[in-house]
């Protein structure tokens, strides 16, 4: 075997590699500057720095409709004001969430309190005293009982013949908070209602509020009334009509689970509509993506699915065609506040609205929508 000629060795620069640089904490006076420096380091620091750059580009793009997907106990973990901030500044135009996250956020909005868990009290004792443990934080059963009273009252005010969906229910609850909370009081559903950001909960029955609707229906049946009908496909149709109008779409994901996949599956759905029904499928794919989730790829679950894997499903535009993506494998309660603070520093505190949010002119089915597009 002949020896390698050291004269043929590359110097890194000639092959287009970007050099990494040492962090100098004395040079950086803001979170934004620090995260720019992170992007020039390695490992998780580089992932976070690059995620901040992609997220900034995505929310600043005036033609990009941003979908935020949420899972995990983020409201119990006191990240709710981050959601309000991103809604109020026009950084997200639609939200897909777990029902539990919205339920616990509802508790906080109505003045309920969550508490730190003390390991000195075991889970059996917690149950007896009405404390529901979420990892290291406690939800009170009384909070959830109080939530049910409000949900029941709001649903009872809706027209009897109106078919329910998660977006309709949450919009109605947002309107309730808009009417009843002090102007200065911030709340996720209130912010979403005021800024016309729809919230979709695909697995709505897998939540306290979903159970509240079932309890309401049992009560109605016992009193001789008809059940309130719920159709989850109304959410799919409303969400699809929103994204179909857009020039570009981006997705910002905290965690994974059903919200992440439900929001992403719109590309494959439109593709099979075109292939199987001959209707214009729009060729929808996300152009941007930022994900914060600690689950690794090798576990084989949906939450660990990479954006690269999503390209194979027709969910994302590949980077070779201009797609911009970043993934941070870390606890969102550490990463998310840093990202939002960085956006505030880079984009300024002025609240802006995008022209991508167009009102849905009327409630029509996708069949009628696509038929009119075809004609």
Written as six digits, the tokens of 46 are: 């580089």
Q: What is the mean pLDDT of residues 274-298?
A: 86
How many Å apart are CA 103 and CA 210, to the nearest integer? Answer: 9
**Number of folded domains in the chain?**
1
3 is a domain residue: no
What is the residue-averaged pLDDT of the chain? 91
Task: Indicate whether 314 pLDDT > 90.
Answer: no
pLDDT tens for each residue of 9-27 = 888 998 899 999 999 998 9
pLDDT band at 308 (very low <50, low <70, confident <90, very high): confident
**C-beta of residue 226 within 8 angstroms of C-beta of residue 274:** no
Catalytic residue among 142, 225, 282, 315: 315
pLDDT band at 363 (very low <50, low <70, confident <90, very high): low
Q: What is the predicted pLDDT for the residue at 280?
A: 73
Q: What is the predicted pLDDT for the residue at 361?
A: 58
pLDDT tens for each residue of 193-210 = 999 999 999 999 999 999
289 is a domain residue: yes
Task: Indicate whether 375 pLDDT > 60.
Answer: no
Predicted TM-score (pTM) of this structure: 0.93
Query: Which residue matches tokens 């934004």?
Result: 32
- CB under 8 Å to 186, separation ≥6 — which residues? 81, 84
What is 117-132 written as a DSSP string?
--TTS-HHHHHHTTEE
- CB under 8 Å to 52, separation ≥6 — which residues? 32, 35, 36, 38, 39, 338, 339, 342, 343
Task: Indicate whether 247 pLDDT > 70.
Answer: yes
Task: Indicate whether 325 pLDDT > 80.
Answer: yes
Query: Which residue matches tokens 């603070």?
Result: 341
2 is a domain residue: no
Within 195-331, residue ranges assigned H as helices are: 208-222, 233-244, 257-264, 266-277, 307-312
Q: What is the predicted pLDDT for the residue at 302?
A: 72
pLDDT tens for each residue of 44-88 = 999 999 999 999 999 999 999 999 999 999 999 999 999 999 999
Task: Indicate whether 1 pLDDT > 60.
Answer: no
Which CATH number is 44's domain given? Answer: 3.40.910.10
220 is a domain residue: yes
- What residue numbers bound the domain in which 319 lies? 8-374
**Annotation says 40 is catalytic:** no
Q: What is the predicted pLDDT for the residue at 296?
A: 80
Task: Indicate whether 338 pLDDT > 60.
Answer: yes
360 is a domain residue: yes
């Amino acid at each position: 075997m002949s020896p390698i000629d050291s004269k043929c060795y590359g110097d890194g620069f000639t092959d287009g590699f970007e050099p990494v640089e040492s962090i100098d904490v004395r040079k950086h006076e803001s979170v934004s500057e620090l995260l720019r420096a992170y992007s020039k380091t390695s490992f998780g620091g580089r992932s976070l720095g690059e995620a901040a750059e992609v997220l900034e580009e995505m929310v600043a793009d005036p033609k990009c409709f941003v979908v935020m997907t949420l899972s995990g106990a983020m409201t119990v973990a006191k990240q709710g004001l981050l959601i309000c901030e991103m809604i109020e500044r026009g950084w997200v135009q639609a939200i897909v969430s777990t029902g539990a996250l919205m339920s616990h956020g509802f508790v906080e909005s109505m003045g309920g309190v969550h508490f730190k868990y003390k390991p000195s009290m075991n889970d059996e004792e917690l149950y007896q005293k009405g404390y529901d443990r979420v990892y290291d934080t406690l939800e009170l059963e009384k909070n959830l009982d109080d939530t049910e009273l409000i949900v029941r009252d709001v649903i009872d005010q809706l027209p009897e013949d109106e078919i329910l969906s998660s977006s309709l229910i949450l919009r109605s609850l947002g309107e309730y908070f808009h009417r009843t909370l002090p102007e200065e009081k911030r709340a996720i559903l209130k912010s979403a209602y005021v800024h016309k950001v729809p919230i979709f909960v695909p697995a709505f029955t897998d939540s306290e509020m979903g159970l509240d609707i079932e309890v309401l229906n049992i009560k109605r049946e016992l009193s001789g009334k008809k059940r309130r009908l719920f159709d989850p496909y109304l959410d799919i149709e409303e969400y699809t009509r929103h994204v179909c109008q857009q020039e570009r779409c981006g997705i910002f994901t905290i965690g994974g689970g059903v919200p992440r996949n439900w929001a992403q599956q719109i590309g494959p759905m439109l593709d099979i509509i075109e292939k199987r029904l001959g209707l214009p499928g729009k060729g929808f794919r996300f152009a941007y993506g930022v994900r914060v989730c600690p689950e690794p790829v090798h576990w084989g679950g949906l939450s660990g699915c990479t954006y690269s894997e999503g390209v194979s499903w027709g969910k994302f535009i590949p980077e070779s065609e201009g797609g911009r993506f970043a993934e941070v494998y870390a606890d969102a309660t550490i990463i998310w506040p840093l990202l939002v603070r960085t956006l505030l520093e880079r984009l300024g505190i002025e609240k802006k609205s995008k022209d991508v949010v167009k009102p849905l002119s009327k409630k029509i089915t996708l069949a009628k929508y696509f038929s009119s597009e075809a004609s």
